[in-house]
Homo-oligomer: A and B are copies of this chain.
Amino acid sequence: MKFLEDRIRQDGQVRPGNILKVDNFLNHQIDVDLLDEIGKAFYEKYKDSGITRIMTVEASGIAIACAAAKWFHVPVVFAKKAKSKNIDGDVYTSVVHSFTYDRDYTVTLAKKFLNADDRVLLVDDFLAVGKAMRGLIDICEQAEAKVCGIGICIEKGFQEGGDYLRERGYEVTSLAIVEKMTDDGQIFFRGE
């Protein structure tokens, strides 16, 4: 989507190691009007898919999921990264490796919030290697819920997450796909 590519060009910052910082509008400070546009873009794509739940993983994904769910008028569910004393009862879990934080963690979702009747839209701010998204898909498979689509704000097209998911038949909708970043800060998007 042009609006997100434009914003990334305007406010994103390239750092060594193929890091793209968008912390001034997406995942540390959040521009809520942009967020609303993002939610609407996912709605336009999946409004006829019978979505019953928008699912993500804490933390940055929560903002994206709520922005989308507002249009669909369905609940958000978010997998938690730490086991709280306050989660009781049966849970789905999946182990995920985070490259951002360089460690494994377990994502957890209470079973009562996802079941075989659900048609799920998975969303997240970034898709790179795709480990977090595969954890969410694993949980949906455990619940026998149908993954109707995967909505991503920024896909790093030069990493394998997007290809991996598309090859397995998932419809990945990335609002911006970064194909290449240069050390002097230039950003190239897929299709340009």
Chain A residues near B (Cβ < 8 Å): 15, 19, 21, 23-24, 28-33, 35-36, 58-60, 62-63, 65-67, 69-70, 73-78, 80-82, 84-88, 100-102, 109-110, 112-113
Contacts and interface: CB of A to CB of B under 8 A. Distances in A.
Q: Which 4 A-B pairs have the closest CB atoms?
A: A58-B59, A30-B76, A59-B59, A32-B69
A58 B27 CA distance: 11
A30 B82 contact: no
B78 A59 contact: yes
A15 B31 CA distance: 37
A101 B81 CA distance: 12
Given A21-B86, A100-B85, A100-B86, A32 B63 contact: no
A168 to B, nearest CB: 27
A85 B31 CA distance: 22
A23 to B, nearest CB: 7
